[in-house]
């Protein structure tokens, strides 16, 4: 059995209250493809090389990712709540900014707890998170999601993707990552812009995917489940340090050296006057790999 799929012992499942108001029916999140996507050729070699490259570089996600703020908390319930808050602030925002915003929010509220969020004025929350993307909207989402947690889930983070996605401001990416970090439940892959971009650059999707959800379903259909827990963290760090959105550092990438990345190519440009020819790295078909909006 996958170690990440095991439920923590001694922790009751948050129960949805029977008298909770039922909003409009939510469409269940698709969990698998009817026909699995074929596993890409050489995918294991590529995966292992990326993993090895990641071991030698500390990326922002390693020290300031959404899993890190909860490490300062002792109460398990508060840990889960802080993890959810960090994920909700993270969309369209760099890890460094999210990490600072969570610290600001913790200070402004004298502790980042469900009760303190509900008791706080919107202006206090907005002031603390003003550097994150779409901070006004996220202030509203944080307040509404916290109220729903209190009303429908006994003040705790729910344990299913569909229940998490019923919270304002929470989409599939956040839900899968939250279950992994908050509950140690490995039920799917959290696909953000880095995972979407890099897996397409590697040619892992035929045809290329256009949304994070397409990417997730494809990857889940062939990538062994024991790797679902780590693939997001690995590719996010790789995307922050080497396979960056603009000007990827293909000259530092083992996949380029070993000709395992179909998107990388070396272009030799004639140098003007004396000196050696300048060597540039170009990425092919970048127009097809536009950044998706985060959940």
For the annotated catalytic residues, the residue numbers are 173
Q: Which residue's entry shows tokens 């344990």?
A: 159
**CA dihedral angle for residue 141, residue 175, residue 248, residue 261, rounded to 10 degrees:** -160
Contacts of 95 (CB under 8 A, 6+ apart): 60, 61, 64, 65, 66, 240
Q: Nearest CA to 87 among 165, 5, 198?
A: 165
Q: Which residue's entry shows tokens 């812009």?
A: 193
């Amino acid at each position: 059995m996958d170690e990440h799929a095991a439920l923590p012992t001694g922790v009751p499942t948050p129960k949805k209250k029977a008298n909770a108001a039922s909003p409009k029916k939510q469409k269940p999140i698709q969990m698998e493809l009817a026909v699995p996507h074929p596993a890409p050729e050489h995918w294991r070699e590529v995966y292992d090389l990326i993993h090895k490259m990641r071991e030698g570089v500390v990326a922002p996600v390693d020290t300031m990712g959404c899993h890190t703020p909860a490490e300062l908390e002792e109460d398990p319930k508060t840990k889960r709540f802080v993890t959810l808050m960090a994920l909700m602030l993270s969309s369209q925002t760099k890890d460094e900014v999210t990490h600072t915003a969570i610290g600001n929010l913790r200070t402004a509220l004298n502790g980042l707890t469900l009760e303190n969020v509900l008791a706080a004025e919107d202006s206090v929350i907005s002031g603390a998170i003003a550097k994150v993307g779409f901070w006004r909207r996220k202030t509203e989402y944080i307040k509404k999601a916290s109220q729903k947690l209190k009303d429908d889930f006994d003040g705790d983070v729910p344990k299913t993707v569909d229940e998490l996605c019923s919270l304002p401001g929470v989409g599939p990416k956040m839900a899968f990552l939250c279950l992994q970090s908050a509950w140690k439940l490995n039920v799917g892959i959290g696909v953000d812009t880095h995972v979407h971009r890099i897996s397409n650059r590697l040619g892992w999707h035929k045809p290329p995917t256009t949304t994070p959800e397409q990417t997730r379903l494809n990857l889940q259909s062939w990538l062994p489940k024991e790797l679902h827990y780590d693939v997001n963290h690995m590719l996010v760090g790789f995307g922050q340090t080497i396979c960056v959105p603009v000007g990827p550092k293909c000259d530092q990438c083992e996949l380029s050296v070993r000709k395992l990345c179909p998107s990388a190519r070396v272009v030799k440009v004639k140098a003007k006057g004396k000196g050696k020819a300048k060597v540039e790295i170009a990425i092919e078909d970048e127009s097809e790999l536009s950044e998706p909006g985060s959940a």
